[in-house]
Structure 1
Amino acid sequence: MLISEKMKQTDFSAAESALVNYILEKGTAIEEQTIKEIAQATFVHPSTLIRVSKKLGFAGWVELKTAFLEEQTYLQTYFDTVDANLPFSATDGLMTIANKVATLERTTIDDTLSLLNHDNLQKAKQLLLQANQIKIFGSNANTLIAQDFALKMRRIKKNVIISQTMGENAYEAYNCHPKDCCILISYTGENEMIIQTAEILQKQQIPIIGLTSIGENSLAAASDAALRLTTRERLYSKIGNYTINTSICYLLDVLYSCCFAEEYSLNLNHLIKIGEHVDTRKSSSSIMEESSEARVHFTESFRPN
């Protein structure tokens, strides 16, 4: 749940409500205001700001103000030229649609990148590298999207399995080993099946990497490393899950790339060596053609000293 949403749903006194309404109305304009200035503008005692902060789960006003400004800045950044829910209209031509979808995907990746936190990403990478087995839990299209990640990871000898059998998630979660790591994907962070899975994994002390929306939600709270998805789409009044799917693909590609980079030359040489034996595809384009001289030069360049 976003802080702004929590403000609207929390039970406040009359004085506290006046303060909250002011904060919501002013948005990022409160950045330069002091506690005293805000209190005077809303005709409340400065201690009211502290009470409101604690009711919202923050230690104090500075912590609430910082988090609120970060949230508002995110919501006002990107997506100023395209609507995530209705990226094109009924009257748009083919190339207009193509351009708008391209803009939407580029914007989504930039938006998701802005949500990435170095420490969380580092934690997620270490959990994946240390795991004997990586298990992915999702629902509907999320499990389909994860298949490419699983394939790429298996090609560099990382054991990745996707839970795909309907109704078996709880059993598969219970059967996970303490040295496993699980990736749970839920846009809302409140999917009942995913939360049940997370609770089982927590009881068994199995690390969780969560891919979910911004703000407070159950999956983020249960995750050892929470990577945030672009949070722009409504639940169903939209043309499609464009930004959600693109955001998931991007984050999984980042996780794979970080794991690959840990042993870059070893993984690259491994893929090239296998490809030389098993990839028999033919190409009519010189761009795609493999050159034996180039392969030797490439692998030599990345050979450890």
Structure 2
Amino acid sequence: MTILKQLANLKDVTPSEEVLIAYINQHRKEVLMMTPQSLSEASFVSVATVYRLLGKLGISSFSDLKVALAYTITNQHTSVDPNYPVDLEDNLQTSVAKMTSLYQQTLEETISLLSEEALKSSVELLLQAETIDIYAASANLHFARNFKFQLQEIGTLVNVPDEDYVQRLSAANSTKDHVAIVVSYGGRGQTTQEVVKLLTKNQTPIILVTSTQNNPLVSEAREVLFLASDENHYNKISSFSTRFSLLMLFDLLYTGYFNHNGEENRRFKLTNYQKMNQQLK
């Protein structure tokens, strides 16, 4: 429910609160620039009335009211452009609302593209593999390393080669007992193409994380997991949507892997943390 609907549905409001609600409805964008004091002055009610209204809405701070209002204003229009989700004239509250909207639509798109069968099969490949290798580039390496860290916490070692030569060397050393997660939005990178050729030659199962664009590497993959794919490869502020989508896919792979032996993995983590804490004492 939007903040405006919440305001409309409030019961037992005082006459002063009715005045305040009417002002907020009529001056939505202006309220984004106000403080509790300036809003009370502009609407001719007390500051206490402002905070009393927040309490009835279940909102803890005036900043939260502005974020909720900005989110509502943003979502009255078309979906957020993933390439340029914020404008130069946006204030902080509007930027927060737009980024929230962008992440929400990215989440929904990632879910809509997700094949449960492909995800389940990918987790099974990871569980069966003697060695897990992740091939990624640029900022995507950070998400690969985070996945590596997550699995290391439950005793599974993951290889994340970063330099071009090391990636090709790792692929050349790979076998059918490995599994490779290849992150490639469009399959354009020369190193990635060479890595996939080596993996295919060595019969290494490939889990390809890619966009819905025509990626030539799809034909070489055992399983394909699709990223949210509305971003332009070059013309954008940053890869906000793609990164969020990639993080979600890695986290889904991790939770599927973890839950296969959930109790054992939980005990393993706790035991190791206790060992490390004792070592520090």
TM beyond 0.5: yes
Work out whether 1:212 is the aligned partner of 2:210.
Answer: yes
Q: Specify the SS of the correspondent of 2:188.
A: coil
Give the counterpart of 1:233 among 207, 231, 235: 231
Contact 1:179/1:206, CA 8 A, preserved across alignment: yes
Equivalent residue number for residue 139 of structure 1: 137
Residues 93-121 of structure 1: CA deviation (Å, up to 9, x unaligned) = 01211221122112212211111101111
Kept after mapping to 2: 8 A contact 1:87/1:101: yes
Q: 1:166 to 1:204 in 2, by over 3 A?
A: closer
Residue in structure 1 matching 2:90, options 85, 89, 92: 92
Distance 1:169 1:270 in 2: 30
Q: Which deviations, in whole Å up to 9, do the C-alpha atoms of 1:32-70 show, x marking residues without a partner? A: xxxxxxxxxxxxxxxxxxxxxxxxxxxxxxxxxxxxxxx
Is the contact made by 1:132 and 1:159 (CA closer than 8 Å) also made in structure 2? Answer: no
Identity of aligned residues (%): 28
Match of 1:120 among 118, 121, 140: 118
Q: What is the 5 A alignment of 1:81-230?
A: 81-230=79-228
TM-score (norm 2): 0.69
- How many pairs does the alignment contain? 202
How far apart in 2 are the matches of 1:127 and 1:191? 25
Which has more radius of gyration?
A: 2
Could you tell me how far apart the structure 2 residues matched to 1:257 and 1:194 are? 27
1:235-265 CA deviation, whole Å, 9 max, x = no partner? 1111100011111111000000000010111
Ranges of 4+ aligned residues in structure 1 off by more than 4 Å: none
Asked if structure 1 preserves the Cα contact closer than 8 Å seen for 2:207 and 2:221, the reply is yes
Cα gap change, 1:271 to 1:196, in 2 (>3 Å) = same
Q: 1:265-304 to 2 correspondence within 5 Å?
A: 265-279=263-277
Amino acid at match of 2:79: T
Tell me how far apart the structure 2 counterparts of residues 279 and 229 of structure 1 sit (CA, whole Å). 39
CA deviation map 1:56-86 (0-9, x unaligned): xxxxxxxxxxxxxxxxxxxxxxx94211111
What's 1:244 paired with? 242
8 Å Cα contact 1:153-1:256 kept in structure 2: yes
Q: Which runs of 5+ in 1 are unaligned?
A: 1-78, 281-305
Gapped regions of structure 2 (runs ≥ 5):
1-76
2: CA distance, partners of 1:83 / 1:119: 30
- Counterpart in the other structure of 1:33: none
